[in-house]
Structure 1
Amino acid sequence: MDGNMPNIKNWVVVYPVYINSKKTIAQGRRINVSKACENPTCAEIGDCCTHFKLPFAIEIDKAYPRDFMQRGRVRVLLKKDDGTLFNPAISSRKQLMLRIAELVPRHPGRTKKQEPASASNAGTSKSGKGGKKKR
């Protein structure tokens, strides 16, 4: 950001879990599955904030309380100090999450990465005899 870091303590927090279509509401998803995206990363969320011209800060050392293996969260500033919105189209945390979830699947680093991942998975699954199946 800039030299004098604003007080990010009262910025909105977005954990990737909030918009992850692979998670259930009990696991922390905050928006509808149909609107959520698959396994978003903090970097992708940050890029979306840049797209919306919203100031943000990625906190890598933080973890999601319900699933501490999920590292990282993004703090986003929705309103300026005087209470006006940075982006008039995004007035709430919920709107922010929905808009980010819309953008993440179209993230430039994403479309290329996902197909090879699923193809290589199929190749590594071992065929042949697996564990005991006698009854």
Structure 2
Amino acid sequence: MDGQVLSVKKWNIIYPIYINSKKTIAEGRRICATKACENPTCIEIGDCCSYLKLPFAIEIDKAYPRDFMQIGRVRVCLKREDGTLVNPAIRSKKQLMLRVAELVPKHPGRVKKQEAAVASTTSGSSKSGKAGKKKR
């Protein structure tokens, strides 16, 4: 990495909730639902940062303050100590969140999961799914 990078404590923090389309703005989503992705993980966000050639650190021991069940966050370095951008294409935290949300659905691990899900739904049972309460 050329140039000196800021200490990890000064890096931007991205919680998976920030780009989760299943969450509301009140629950912590930071970008519009149409651009957000479904249930991202810290590992997927980290992989997207490495793809964008940004230094990052995954912190598994931390939780989102508003929902402590959401564990993990990613610290990302956008600027060096001299103030120059690490990746000139990403100028702000908002741009980073939008770019990561765009990349997560294309993540290799996620593509395999979707293919498996499609295979299991097509070979599922032929039962109609309209089951009601039993009458006594």
Which amino acid in 2 is paired with 1:15? Y
Tell me, which stretches of 5 or more residues in structure 1 are unaligned? none
* Displacement after TM superposition at 1:40 (Å): 0.5
2:63 is the alignment partner of 1:52? no
1:37 is matched with 37
> CA separation in 2, counterparts of 1:78 and 1:43?
18
1:75-115 deviation digits (Å, cap 9, x = unpaired) = 00000010000000101000000000000000011011134
1:24-69 deviation digits (Å, cap 9, x = unpaired) = 1011000011100011010110011101110000000000011111
Tell me, which stretches of 5 or more residues in structure 2 are unaligned? none
> CA separation in 1, counterparts of 2:63 and 2:117?
25
Contact 2:63 2:72 in 1 (8 A): yes
> CA separation in 2, counterparts of 1:133 and 1:96?
55
2:92 is matched with 92
1:61 is matched with 61
> CA separation in 2, counterparts of 1:89 and 1:106?
19
Aligned structure 1 segments of 4 or more residues deviating by more than 2 angstroms: 114-124, 127-134
Which amino acid in 2 is paired with 1:44? E
Q: Percent identity between the aligned chains?
A: 71
Q: Name the SS for the 2:78 alignment partner.
A: coil
> CA separation in 2, counterparts of 1:108 and 1:87?
23
2:67 is the alignment partner of 1:104? no
Total equivalences in the alignment: 130
RMSD of equivalent CA atoms:
2.7
Which amino acid in 2 is paired with 1:10? K
Give the TM-score normalised by the residue count of structure 2: 0.83
